């Protein structure tokens, strides 16, 4: 890269594109050309401050300077203000890394996201990429597994199972073939971290999967993507091709005797395929029906072979652990929740985006210090934490620290770190009904409590909302929730009651609106 050429960064992340980043990049190119100013535009990932997208950055001697949200109409004014040298403008935020939202974060997994060109191996290497893999290539399988175990890393998909223990089971299994599968079926509403890192730092996932494969003795792997993420899928496919071209994937990786082949498969709009055994069925080309466990996928997984199934964020946390050591990662966090989690602030918030912090941060800090309250300006009434199967929490629980055990103690879950915010216009009875409706639409149908229970639950909630026998129907609903929790094969039916029960528990008045209305009308008539 030529030293004097000014570099401008305009993200190619889907969220940035969704609010016009391509048009902004085109406008900058056209304006520069008409003014005869040579510049280089890098299409980076997102910094995660999605409320500022499209966030344009300019490289200056002091560091990268941020402007956003930029529209094509703002571009001539930015040039007039001298933004190419960091000039002052109404959309300016100063140095990107000094923006409090960004500065207060602890970026381990997302360290490179938004900084590098996602499809440049050279850029990836220059920012510490492949150092973890290089270390792993010189280590024994047992030492790699031990380092991951020592880091305290737990599955970031939601279940929180210790990654090192899973890897150890696969490593010790005897088989002619083993697999590493990445679950990128990020279907939970309020979550987008998997998509962002795949679009912003895809080599990190490739590196993490390759380390996993070396550790357990697997020679091939798959990333299971969502069909709703075409841009991430295209980015990952391109990155895999580049990794093959440069010898980071394939036979005899960088001259060693290690081999790993990686391919991408795309789901087809079934939420249940985010459940690991349903995902394996889908990878085998079948209906995404949940398997009974045991056998564990670690022993009998894809095509009946021992298989590591990990979430994107778990695998993307592996390179830094292998680079800096298990203790480095373990030093972040609280209790048995070690390291960091990229929280995703979503829904009705002024400042939505990615906030990567060590475990232990409270919801209150995330919602107000980072999120800035609601975009509608109304009070926050409820937040749903951990996706559509996660509990709805009222403001009285916002001081709960983000920690797997603290949340579990409240019948809630940290899950994949998604936080969806609702203001006081929300009708929690309708949200409870939606939880059941979602389960009706997305249940794989294998077990009765989930398949039938969700339909009966939706019908019962319809009666409650209509004000019919509310007390009796709430009892029936509670009973049905018990059956679903205790009798379902997987978390789909087993956790759908969490949002329902929490809505009833924390917002009981919403389930009696019609009942009261009916009574008032009745009294008025008398």
Partner 1 sequence: MTIVEDNRHLRGALLPILHALQEEFGYIDEQAIPLLATELNLSRADVHGVVSFYHEFRREKPGRHIIKVCRAEACQSMGANALVDHIKTRLQVDFHGTTADGAFTLEPVFCLGNCALSPAVMIDENLHGRVSLDRFDELAAETRANPTAHQQIPRALSHSHKGHAQ
Output 339 or 347, the one with its CB closest to partner 1. 347
Q: How far is the CB of 6 from partner 1 (least distance, A)?
A: 20
Q: How far is the CB of 446 from partner 1 (least distance, A)?
A: 11
Q: How far is the CB of 268 from partner 1 (least distance, A)?
A: 3
**Candidate segments 73-81, 397-405, 433-441, 458-466, binder of partner 1 by CB under 8 A:** 433-441
Of residues 229-288, which lie at the interface with partner 1 (CB under 8 A)? Answer: 229-235, 237-238, 240-241, 244, 265-271, 282-288
Q: How far is the CB of 96 from partner 1 (least distance, A)?
A: 18
Provide the greatest CA pair distance for the chain.
89
| Short-list 194, 161, 107, CA closest to 404 | 161
| Short-list 485, 347, 513, CA closest to 429 | 513
Site string for partner 1, 444-483 (x = CB under 8 A): ----------------------------------------
Rounded CA gap, 170 and 273, in Å?
22
Kind and range of the H or E run holding 437? helix 428-442
Q: Does 19 bind partner 1 (CB under 8 A)?
A: yes
Candidate list 23, 26, 119, 476; residue touching partner 1; CB under 8 A: 119
Site string for partner 1, 316-345 (x = CB under 8 A): ----------------------------xx
Candidate list 79, 422, 498, 507; residue touching partner 1; CB under 8 A: 422
| Short-list 353, 313, 343, 416, CA closest to 19 | 353
Candidate list 297, 306, 353, 497; residue touching partner 1; CB under 8 A: 353
Q: In 229-283, at which residue ranges do the beta strands (DSSP E only) sit?
A: 261-266
Of residues 354-413, which lie at the interface with partner 1 (CB under 8 A)? Answer: 375, 384, 388
Q: Does 195 bind partner 1 (CB under 8 A)?
A: yes
Q: How far is the CB of 58 from partner 1 (least distance, A)?
A: 21
| Short-list 412, 379, 417, CA closest to 197 | 417
Of residues 122-181, which lie at the interface with partner 1 (CB under 8 A)? Answer: none
- Quickly tell me which residue has 């770190």 as its tokens: 417
Rounded CA gap, 32 and 79, in Å?
8
**Candidate segments 12-20, 400-408, 474-482, 513-521, binder of partner 1 by CB under 8 A:** 12-20
Rounded CA gap, 234 and 231, in Å?
5
Q: How far is the CB of 91 from partner 1 (least distance, A)?
A: 17
**The tokens of 80 are what?**
């007039």
Rounded CA gap, 143 and 60, in Å?
42
Candidate list 10, 15, 428, 450; residue touching partner 1; CB under 8 A: 15
Q: How far is the CB of 323 from partner 1 (least distance, A)?
A: 27
Candidate list 144, 212, 316, 346; residue touching partner 1; CB under 8 A: 346
- For helices 230-245 and 202-216, give the axis angle rounded to 10 degrees: 60
Q: How far is the CB of 308 from partner 1 (least distance, A)?
A: 17
Count residues near partner 1 (CB under 8 A).
Answer: 73
Of residues 26-85, which lie at the interface with partner 1 (CB under 8 A)? Answer: 43, 50-51, 53
Q: Is 346 left (phi over 0), alpha (psi -120 to 50) or beta?
A: beta
Q: Is 189 helix (H, G, I), strand (E, B) or coil?
A: coil
> DSSP letters along 477-516, please?
HHHHHHHHHHH-SSHHHHHTHHHHHHHHHH-GGGGSHHHH
Q: Does 439 bind partner 1 (CB under 8 A)?
A: no
Candidate list 415, 418, 494, 497; residue touching partner 1; CB under 8 A: 418
Q: Does 105 bind partner 1 (CB under 8 A)?
A: no
**The tokens of 50 are what?**
């999605």
| Short-list 226, 188, 180, 186, CA closest to 206 | 180
**The tokens of 106 are what?**
């602890």
Backbone angles phi, psi at 445, to 5 degrees: 90, 0
Output 191 or 473, the one with its CB closest to partner 1. 191
Q: How far is the CB of 242 from partner 1 (least distance, A)?
A: 9
Q: Does 305 bind partner 1 (CB under 8 A)?
A: no
| Short-list 235, 192, 218, CA closest to 418 | 192
**Candidate segments 56-64, 151-159, 438-446, 455-463, binder of partner 1 by CB under 8 A:** 438-446
Candidate list 442, 449, 464, 490; residue touching partner 1; CB under 8 A: 442
Candidate list 14, 277, 337, 473; residue touching partner 1; CB under 8 A: 14
Sheet holding 380-385, edge to edge: 353-358, 340-347, 418-423, 380-385, 392-393
Output 104 or 286, the one with its CB closest to partner 1. 286
**Candidate segments 29-37, 96-104, 139-147, 426-434, binder of partner 1 by CB under 8 A:** 426-434
Output 215 or 232, the one with its CB closest to partner 1. 232
Distance separating the N- and C-terminal Cα atoms of the chain:
84
Rounded CA gap, 69 and 350, in Å?
13
* Helix residue ranges per DSSP H, 114-157: 121-126, 131-137, 141-151
Output 104 or 336, the one with its CB closest to partner 1. 104
Handedness of CA 330, 334, 335, 340 (dihedral sign): negative
Q: How far is the CB of 331 from partner 1 (least distance, A)?
A: 29
């Amino acid at each position: 890269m030529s030293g004097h050429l000014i570099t401008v960064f305009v993200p190619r992340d889907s969220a940035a594109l969704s609010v016009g980043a391509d048009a902004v990049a085109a406008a900058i190119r056209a304006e520069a050309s008409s003014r005869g100013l040579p510049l280089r535009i890098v299409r980076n990932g997102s910094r995660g401050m999605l409320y500022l997208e499209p966030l344009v950055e300019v490289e200056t001697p002091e560091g990268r300077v941020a402007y956003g949200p930029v529209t094509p109409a703002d571009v001539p004014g930015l040039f007039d203000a001298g933004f190419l040298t960091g000039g002052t403008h109404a959309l300016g935020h100063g140095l990107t890394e000094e923006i409090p939202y960004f500065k207060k974060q602890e970026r381990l997994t997302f360290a490179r996201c938004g900084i590098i060109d996602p499809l440049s191996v050279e850029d990836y290497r220059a920012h510490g990429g492949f150092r973890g893999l290089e270390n792993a290539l010189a280590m024994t399988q047992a030492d790699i597994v031990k380092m991951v175990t020592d880091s305290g890393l737990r599955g970031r998909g939601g279940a929180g199972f210790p990654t090192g223990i899973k890897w150890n089971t696969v490593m010790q299994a005897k088989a002619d073939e083993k697999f590493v599968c990445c679950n990128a079926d990020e279907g939970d509403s309020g979550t987008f971290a998997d998509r962002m890192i795949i679009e912003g730092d895809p080599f990190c996932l490739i590196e993490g999967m390759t380390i996993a494969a070396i550790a357990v003795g697997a020679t091939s792997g798959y990333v299971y993507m969502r069909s709703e993420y075409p841009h991430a899928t295209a980015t990952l496919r391109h990155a895999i091709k580049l990794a093959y071209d440069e010898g980071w994937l394939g036979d005899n990786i960088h001259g060693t005797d290690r081999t790993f082949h990686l391919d991408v498969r795309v789901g087809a709009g079934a939420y249940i395929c985010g459940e690991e055994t349903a995902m394996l069925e889908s990878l085998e080309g079948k209906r995404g029906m949940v398997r009974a466990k045991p056998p564990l996928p670690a022993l009998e997984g894809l095509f009946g072979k021992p298989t590591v199934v990990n979430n994107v964020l778990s695998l993307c946390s592996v390179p830094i652990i292998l680079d800096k050591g298990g203790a480095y990662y373990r030093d972040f966090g609280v209790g048995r929740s070690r390291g960091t989690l990229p929280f995703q602030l979503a829904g009705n918030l002024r400042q939505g985006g990615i906030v990567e912090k060590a475990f232990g941060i409270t919801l209150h800090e995330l919602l107000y210090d980072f999120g800035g309250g609601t975009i509608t300006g109304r009070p926050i009434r409820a937040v749903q934490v951990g996706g559509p199967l996660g509990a709805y929490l009222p403001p009285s629980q916002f001081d709960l620290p983000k920690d797997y055990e603290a949340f579990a103690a409240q019948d809630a879950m940290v899950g994949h770190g998604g936080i969806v915010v609702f203001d006081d216009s929300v009708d929690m009875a309708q949200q409870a009904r939606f939880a059941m409706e979602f389960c009706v639409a997305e249940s794989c149908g294998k077990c009765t409590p989930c398949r039938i229970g969700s339909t009966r639950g939706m019908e019962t909630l319809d009666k409650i909302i209509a004000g019919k026998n509310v007390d009796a129907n709430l009892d029936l609903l509670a009973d049905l929730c018990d059956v679903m929790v205790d009798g379902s094969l997987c978390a789909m039916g087993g956790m759908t009651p969490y949002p329902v029960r929490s809505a009833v528990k924390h917002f009981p008045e919403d389930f009696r609106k019609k009942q009261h209305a009916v009574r008032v009308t009745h009294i008025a008539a008398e």
